[in-house]
């Protein structure tokens, strides 16, 4: 199962955060938002299909996020958790930790924003269009 989110980069994308990455529906980004990779997302976790959400809530589900912009591709893999709510109408946050809040859609991520490929980050800071494909493989 997968969900696709389209967003765009912003001049303040720096991808320097060491424990999270984020895509937001907001249309602006301050330099302090160093985990945010893209703005103006066309969807948020609250828009995801209930069956997809249920699969992500399985304890051992594997979630893969593919970021594509200007020919650059980055993949991050993490896991689901029963406490994920997918209630945020504003942003989706992937975390290297086990912390869960209403914006969290993935925990135990293999990397955070600071680990993303420099060329992809440059494309996003130049305003490139971003396609985010989130795939879940249920446990078992």
Q: Which two tokens stand for residue 30?
A: 């301050």
Parent domain of 52 = 2-137
* Domain CATH number, residue 10: 2.60.120.630
State mean pLDDT over 77-105: 96
Q: What's the mean pLDDT in 10-19?
A: 96
Query: Residue 139 above 80 pLDDT?
Result: no
Q: Is the pLDDT of residue 102 over 70?
A: yes
- Res 129 pLDDT > 70: yes
**23 contacts 41 by C-beta, under 8 angstroms:** yes
Mean pLDDT of 38-45: 98
- Structure confidence at residue 18 (pLDDT): 97
d(C-alpha 118, C-alpha 64), whole Å: 20
Torsions phi, psi for 55 (to 5 deg): -65, -40
CA 21 to chain centroid: 6
pLDDT mean across residues, the chain: 96
| pLDDT value for 138 | 78
What is the enclosing helix (H) or strand (E) of 50?
A: helix 50-56
127 pLDDT more than 70: yes
The pLDDT of residue 72 is: 97
pLDDT classification of 116: cutoffs 50, 70, 90: very high
Q: Please choose, from the candidates 2, 1, 15, 3, the residue with its C-alpha nearest in 3D space to the C-alpha of residue 128.
A: 15
Residue 18, CB half-sphere, CA atoms under 13 Å: how many?
0
Say whether pLDDT at 64 is over 70: yes
Question: How many domains, in total, are found in the chain?
Answer: 1
């Amino acid at each position: 199962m997968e969900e696709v989110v389209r967003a765009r980069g912003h001049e303040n994308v720096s991808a320097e955060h060491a424990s999270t990455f984020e895509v937001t529906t907001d249309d602006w980004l301050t330099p302090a938002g160093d985990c945010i990779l893209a703005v103006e997302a066309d969807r948020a976790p609250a828009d995801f299909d209930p069956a997809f959400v249920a699969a992500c809530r399985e304890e051992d589900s594997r979630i893969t996020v593919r970021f594509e912009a200007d020919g650059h591709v980055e993949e991050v893999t993490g896991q689901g958790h029963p406490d994920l709510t997918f209630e945020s109408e504003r942003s989706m946050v992937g975390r290297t930790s086990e912390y869960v809040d209403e914006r969290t859609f993935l925990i135990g991520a293999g990397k955070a924003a600071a680990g993303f490929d420099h060329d992809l980050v440059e494309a996003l800071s130049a305003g490139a269009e971003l396609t985010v494909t989130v795939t879940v493989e249920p446990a078992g």
